[in-house]
Amino acid sequence: MISIVSLSNTCSPSWDQVDISNTAEEMTEDITDVYSLIFPYTLCPRELFTEILRTNQLRAKASAAIQLCDFNLEHAFEAYDVLGRIDAFSVEDWARAGTFCTEWLTVGLVYKSAVALYATLSLCLLMVLPTTPSLLESQTAYGDVLLSNLGTALKVPRMAKFMVWPLIVAGVEAMHRGEGTRNWIEASLEDLSRTLGTSCPLKVCSVLRRYWESGIAGWDECFDRSYVFAI
């Protein structure tokens, strides 16, 4: 399933991903063709799901460049393009297409903020994006939106079961937050484990707990080997 492979790549080191498409153009075409099959398993809007794949691909290219000491400015331009498209995505327009507009708005806000954070957090330490005050401010703002809307989504069972990956992103960002936030994320994952009847959220807890205790921020610091979490 392309959704599991794609989201598992986000929870794997930048240098150890499963290649599922040759070019960005082919990737976009593939997702467009199969999105109706993916959507029942992840509520991430198609436009944002495509940016997850683009970020995965950019992480792999940037990691390879670092190993060769070949820093490519085009990678920075690609990263800013990704962030620009995510920022421009209109959750309100997307949510109006659904019957339950308020719930779709919550889902859209969760995934927009999670995808933006994933792109920012995973690309900064690969020397693709500079850690500027404006980028850090944006990261904090998206983190606030994600946590707020996760709190709403987790109270509704039909939304809660799709929140594992957004909680993973919130967990990585929580390195920059207090113990209260981390405890809430851990408790939410434990609740989802019981709700979904799977140990995968508990495995996420273990990975995040180790990451938080390390005190060393960085996407690849958290996911130092490949993890396949049920999404």
The 10s digit of each residue's pLDDT in 72-129 is 778 889 999 999 999 999 999 999 866 788 999 999 999 999 999 999 999 988 878 8
- Name the residue type at position 213: E
Exposed e or buried b per residue across 136-148, where buried means at least 16 C-beta atoms within 10 angstroms of its C-beta: eebbeebbebbbe
The 10s digit of each residue's pLDDT in 169-185 is 999 999 999 999 999 99
Q: Which two tokens stand for residue 9?
A: 């790549």
pTM surpassing 0.75? yes
Burial class of residue 135 in the structure, from the number of CB atoms within 10 Å of its CB (0-12 exposed, 13-18 middle, 19+ buried):
middle
Question: What mean pLDDT value characterizes the chain?
Answer: 87
pLDDT of res. 168: 96
Average pLDDT over residues 58-63: 88
Q: Where are the domains of the chain?
A: 2-158
pLDDT of res. 61: 87
CA 13 distance to own-chain centroid: 14
Burial class of residue 187 in the structure, from the number of CB atoms within 10 Å of its CB (0-12 exposed, 13-18 middle, 19+ buried):
exposed
Worst-scoring range by mean pLDDT, 4-8, 126-130, 141-145, 189-193?
4-8
The phi, psi pair for 25, rounded to 5°, reads: -65, -45
d(CA 33, CA 26): 11
The 10s digit of each residue's pLDDT in 9-59 is 888 887 777 766 655 566 666 666 666 666 666 788 989 998 998 999 899
CA 151 distance to own-chain centroid: 17
d(CA 17, CA 4): 12
Structure confidence at residue 63 as a pLDDT band (50, 70, 90): confident
The closest of 3, 15, 4 to 223, measured between CA atoms, is 15
The half-sphere exposure of 137 on its side-chain side, counting CA atoms within 13 A, is 3
